[in-house]
A and B are shown apart, each in its own frame.
Chain A
Amino acid sequence: MTTTSQSGFREATEVPTGRLGIWWFLASEIVIFGGLIATYILLRWKNPQWGEEAEHTLNAAGGFNTLVLLTSSLTVVLAHDAVAHGRLQRAAGLLGYTLLGGLVFLCVKVLEYTHEIREGYTPTKSLFWSYYYGMTGLHALHVLGGMVAIGLVALAVRRGRHAQRVEYVGIYWHFVDVVWIFLFPLLYLAS
């Protein structure tokens, strides 16, 4: 029988319970985002003219947002490293930079949506744009959710509590980054 030790480790798996929970959660997220990406690839295969529609997405904005997310991934992993070295105030500060990255990402996304909708590329214009807004919108909601979690963890870590949660929110944030690494070429570069 699997038991949980006082340190929070699942004795059968040698993984802390919280971290194990995050990995299971991300396995379900793979199916959600992966399902959207898989059907998008198949429909794009069937409809090569979608490439012309993808020419209207903003490569520079997408590239800038990729840079922002990659940098925020660096700050959150450095926060985890700071926790490992017992530097909790530094970890809280680095989580603050990660939050800033998330905020910049969302602001750029809002500007992109505004530009595209003003040009007439609304979610109902075609199936390509439905996928574009559906996938990037769902991703943006995950960024927002991650920002809330990171903000709460940063406040707790600043008070010297729940330092192990920095790793958990970090793993989640990196996953959001990985999803964007695939959305960017699919929706922006592949035109």
Chain B
Amino acid sequence: MNAGSDEAGHPNYVAIWGILVSALLVSLFLGYMDLPVVAMVLIFSIAIVKAWLVIAYYMHLKYEPFFVVTIMATGLACLYFLFFGLVPDIVFGTSR
């Protein structure tokens, strides 16, 4: 048995909520630190872990067929091309 599962093999939703709230408190603490770069890297890493916990265990994506994962990956792939397609215009261009 791991921290995210109960005896029946189902996710322990309350334990996951505890991890999410703990991660939130750490993020808030880091937000007041005087180490901007390190704090930002940690804050966004924690945000990604929190999002993964919600998606995998609360939305049950971890238990969905691979087909459903590809649906969500399609949306993320669109974002990938949008993000890197806009870098030359926004970051290196003249837009403000």
Contacts and interface: CB of A to CB of B under 8 A. Distances in A.
Interface of A: 13-15, 20, 23-24, 26-31, 34-35, 38-39, 41-43, 45-47, 59, 63, 66-67, 70-71, 73-74, 77-78, 81, 127, 170-171, 174-175, 177-178, 181-182, 184-185, 188-191
Nearest to A183: B47
Given A59-B31, A70-B24, A73-B54, 4 more contacts: A34-B76, A38-B79, A81-B10, A189-B43
B55 A178 contact: yes
A23 B60 CA distance: 11
A190 B24 contact: no
A185 B23 CA distance: 12
Contacts of B9: none
Contacts of B31: 59, 185, 188-189, 191
Interface of B: 10, 13-14, 17, 20-21, 24, 27-28, 30-32, 40, 43-44, 47, 50-51, 54-55, 58-60, 64-65, 67-68, 71-72, 74-76, 78-79, 82-83, 86-87, 90-91, 95-96
Nearest to A51: B36
A185 B70 CA distance: 27
A15 B75 contact: no
Most buried by B among A47, A127, A190: A190
Most buried by B among A170, A174, A175: A174
Most buried by A among B32, B59, B65: B59
A185 B59 contact: no
A43 B83 CA distance: 11
Contacts of A63: 24, 28
Contacts of A185: 27, 31, 43-44, 47
Contacts of A81: 10, 13
B67 to A, nearest CB: 5
Contacts of B20: 70
B86 A66 contact: no
Nearest to B28: A63
A142 B31 CA distance: 27
A70 B17 contact: yes
17 contacts: A23-B68, A23-B72, A28-B75, A31-B75, A31-B78, A38-B83, A41-B83, A42-B83, A46-B91, A47-B96, A73-B58, A81-B10, A170-B58, A181-B47, A181-B54, A185-B47, A191-B31
Contacts of B13: 74, 77-78, 81
